[in-house]
């Protein structure tokens, strides 16, 4: 699907994959980007231990002299912020993602390179997101690549097309409520917006409907949780979003070409302006 949409952007590519059905409640995947493959290992391990994380396994992946490392740790959710802070303060590493059932793999370059370097097609999972990016306003690096997540709230990821024109107004409100932004990318804003609503006890479908009213600009986005995928199109329908619904598979994309790879057994349709669709795993 991502390769069929490659013409939409070649700056970066990324995926969020959900798996680990029998994961222990206090076990998390911490993905870390390191600038010094050799020197960072001991510093990151020490930082994790200092933050109260018990390291169960480490998988090192070196690419272009950088590390794309995967730590499985046991910890508690209230220590996640401390884990991010301690790792980032090493000066040699930065957390890419944290999840119990989700891991994010992203990098600069195209989808074909992401597949070659990380073997995405060999991974197993129940559902996920993918994105190819063309930068319009923010930087081109691994941390501005999609999917985005809130490092304080695991297992939620987002991909987004368009702009949020009331970004600074909404960001100010979210920061007053405790949201911590890693970038100035408006896609990250949507994640924090959804997380704040979830913390209030609202359901995903209700949150997405509210976002259509409260977020301004041309946009469409898809957001995933441990058991659901939701998507929305802006109220004027200025950014495209289509869904495919087959007997054993559901998918969404910004262009029909990405959905035609599944054949003609399912139905493809475009979301109406302001429409929300939510799918939940049985």
The answer on 260 and 190 residing in a single domain is yes
The answer on 186 and 51 residing in a single domain is no
The answer on 39 and 17 residing in a single domain is no
- How many CB atoms are closer than 10 A to CB 132? 27
The answer on 171 and 33 residing in a single domain is no
pLDDT at 137: 67
Q: What is the pLDDT of residues 85-106, one digit of tens each?
A: 999 999 899 999 999 999 999 9
Q: What is the pLDDT of residues 238-260, one digit of tens each?
A: 999 999 999 889 999 999 999 99
The answer on 243 and 180 residing in a single domain is yes
The answer on 158 and 194 residing in a single domain is yes
The answer on 88 and 194 residing in a single domain is no
Residues in the chain where the model's pLDDT stays below 70? 22, 136-138
Q: State which residues form the domain around 175.
A: 3-21+103-280
The answer on 179 and 238 residing in a single domain is yes
């Amino acid at each position: 699907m991502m390769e069929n949409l490659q013409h939409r952007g070649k700056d970066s590519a990324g995926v969020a994959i959900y798996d680990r059905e029998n994961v222990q409640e206090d076990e998390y995947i911490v993905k870390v980007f390191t600038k010094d493959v050799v020197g960072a290992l001991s510093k990151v391990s020490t930082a994790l231990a200092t933050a109260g994380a018990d390291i169960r396994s480490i998988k090192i992946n070196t690419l272009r002299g950088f590390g794309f490392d995967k730590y499985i740790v046991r910890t508690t959710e209230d220590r996640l912020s401390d884990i991010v802070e301690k790792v980032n303060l090493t000066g040699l590493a930065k957390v890419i993602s944290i999840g119990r059932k989700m891991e994010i793999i992203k990098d600069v370059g195209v989808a074909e390179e992401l597949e070659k370097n990380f073997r995405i097609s060999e991974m197993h999972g129940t559902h996920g997101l993918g994105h190819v990016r063309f930068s319009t306003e923010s930087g081109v690096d691994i941390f501005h690549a999609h999917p985005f997540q809130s490092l304080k709230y695991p297992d939620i990821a987002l991909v987004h097309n368009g702009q949020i024109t009331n970004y600074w107004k909404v960001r100010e409100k979210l920061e007053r409520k405790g949201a911590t932004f890693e970038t100035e990318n408006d896609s990250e804003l949507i994640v924090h917006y959804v997380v704040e609503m979830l913390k209030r006890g609202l359901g995903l479908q209700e949150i997405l409907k509210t976002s259509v009213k409260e977020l301004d600009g041309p946009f469409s986005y898809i957001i995933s949780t441990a058991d659901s995928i939701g998507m929305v199109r802006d109220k004027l329908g200025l950014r495209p979003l289509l869904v495919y619904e087959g007997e054993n598979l559901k998918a969404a994309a910004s262009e029909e070409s990405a959905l035609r790879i599944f054949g003609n057994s399912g139905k493809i349709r475009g979301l109406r302006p302001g429409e929300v669709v939510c799918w939940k795993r049985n």
